[in-house]
Structure 1
């Protein structure tokens, strides 16, 4: 089994046909056909179904391609890592960030990173942990940062605590409940239920009221989009929970405010997560260091405000 076999199969999958793969790789079509046939013979399985409009993967082929995509990613990572250790800081970093870290820790980190490493490409996606867990294991994602319960993560990952954070009840400016003094005053209010972390948003919100012996909250909107939550709260009388850090961001502070008389509620810590046993590439390590620094600076600022 050769790397050229993987290259040719992936080219067919990406382009949709043997002919298109031939043009893409600038290799004669019979060569690609022979390469894939050799691979199928070695595996003893049919990987592609040929038809008049192109080629599609068989169920076995789909599983095999997922594996070799991981292999290709590791090879590319290894090449870039060698270059970076030699001082050539090119290549890419692929990361996932929760909505909170994207809006708070990401801006200062990427500003410095792009200035220091102008030839690097950063691929960033805003996501929860679960949707990218497999990508982290496969090596197609360097690391993920967000709010998560450490004991809920597989031991196949390294989990590094970056900072603690709290949640506050949020409402639009001028909301009639802004002066509420307890959860008792919020009975009957309508809520936007955020689903911005990997635990059950439904049980989390309900447990807060149940623990206080209060009727269950009335949920009018549920969303996994931080932007839609902010817009909804800013334009309605709905309440929601927001991370404490959000109220310091412009223009959010102009439209949403915390219910200051109700104490904040603790939330899962912000953590850096990456695959156990696989060190980050030099570029990924430098970017993660800048995010660590942003988290450290934020914690210091919060401590200064509490003095």
Structure 2
């Protein structure tokens, strides 16, 4: 059977609004018309797509399955329209990119500036977060592609993974931290300190865990965990916490003297940043332009 795109659009509107009333306002149709459309779709599929409650409507497991496919169709339709606009000379389109904080710091602003100079009508939506959250965003279609710290490909079976660049990761603290007063600093000293860390599961946390375990030490439990780079830097700069982060993230704080890397070679490592995108979606012209400009920014940074 062929799915009706108009009915899929109405289905998504109801799913996002959580009610027929809310969806009617979004799509500019009457409530009876939406109800009839939804009924036809459910009859055609032979399944109930929503559970009705006094407070609204929630997706059934059949509805959740259809939502994933309907969103893919919606995304691909948008890409086709973008491509036709580009072919007609209208340099417009929409790019949704997920970035780990270090990539935001180093790549985002110059890339957007370069894209805007060539195609000022392109709109860019940026989602910042840890690598695990960005991979999930790629998987569910919230972003078109993401730059993340490399994670084993076993966790990314449906993804295209392209190495992009490497960055230095280190342990950092404020200059007044007691570790800087030790004449012979060791990992054991770091293991007894208080830590504030990214949330469990991302590439930095995995590197932190591995640092201690491969040296025969139990990784210390963090006093605080957060996905906010601002909180990480603020807590480290104001109190005797250690953290692990990419050095570029605290570049300005290091220049100002408020945060310093720990002088311990064992605690330094380089992580690979990769671009992750789903093989299920083709890239639109706008997305190709964004990736092209980002690649040039990466090359320029590596040559500097």
TM-score (norm 1): 0.83
- Residue in structure 1 matching 2:237, options 230, 234, 254: 234
Q: Which residue number in structure 2 is paired with residue 113 of structure 1?
A: 115
- Cα separation, 1, equivalents of 2:101 and 2:201: 9
Q: Which residue number in structure 1 is paired with residue 301 of structure 2?
A: 298
- Residue in structure 1 matching 2:125, options 123, 143, 160: 123
Q: Which residue number in structure 1 is paired with residue 289 of structure 2?
A: 286
- Cα separation, 1, equivalents of 2:77 and 2:63: 21
Q: Which residue number in structure 2 is paired with residue 305 of structure 1?
A: none
Q: Which residue number in structure 2 is paired with residue 195 of structure 1?
A: 199
Q: Indicate the SS of the match to 2:127.
A: strand
- Residue in structure 1 matching 2:246, options 243, 249, 264: 243
CA apart distance, 1:216 = 4.8
- Cα separation, 1, equivalents of 2:200 and 2:103: 11
- Kept in 2: contact 1:94–1:143 (CA 8 A): yes
- Residue in structure 1 matching 2:11, options 9, 12, 16: 9
CA apart distance, 1:98 = 0.9
Q: Deviations over 1:149-173 (max 9, x none)?
A: 3534534322111111221221113
Q: Deviations over 1:204-260 (max 9, x none)?
A: 434423433456546322222211111110001111222132343x24532211124
CA apart distance, 1:295 = 2.3
Q: Indicate the SS of the match to 1:141.
A: coil
CA apart distance, 1:142 = 1.2
Mapped pair 1:35 → 2:48 = no
- Cα separation, 2, equivalents of 1:174 and 1:128: 29
- Kept in 1: contact 2:169–2:271 (CA 8 A): no
CA 145–45 in structure 1, closer or farther in 2 if over 3 Å, else same: same
- Cα separation, 2, equivalents of 1:103 and 1:196: 22
Q: Deviations over 1:83-137 (max 9, x none)?
A: 1233322121011111221122222222322333322211111123433445434
- Residue in structure 2 matching 1:221, options 213, 220, 224: 224
CA 161–179 in structure 1, closer or farther in 2 if over 3 Å, else same: farther
- Cα separation, 1, equivalents of 2:19 and 2:273: 44
- Kept in 2: contact 1:92–1:120 (CA 8 A): yes
Q: What 5-or-longer segments of structure 1 have no aligned partner?
A: 302-307
Counterparts of residues 41-60 of structure 1 (less than 5 Å): 41-50=43-52, 54-60=56-62
- Kept in 2: contact 1:247–1:258 (CA 8 A): no
Q: Which residue number in structure 2 is paired with residue 269 of structure 1?
A: 272
Q: Indicate the SS of the match to 1:219.
A: coil
- Cα separation, 2, equivalents of 1:247 and 1:49: 49
CA 287–18 in structure 1, closer or farther in 2 if over 3 Å, else same: same
Higher mean displacement: 277-286 or 210-219: 210-219
Higher mean displacement: 11-20 or 39-48: 11-20
Q: Indicate the SS of the match to 2:125.
A: strand
Q: Which residue number in structure 2 is paired with residue 177 of structure 1?
A: 179
Aligned length: 299
Mapped pair 1:62 → 2:82 = no
- Kept in 2: contact 1:99–1:196 (CA 8 A): no
Q: What 5-or-longer segments of structure 2 have no aligned partner?
A: none
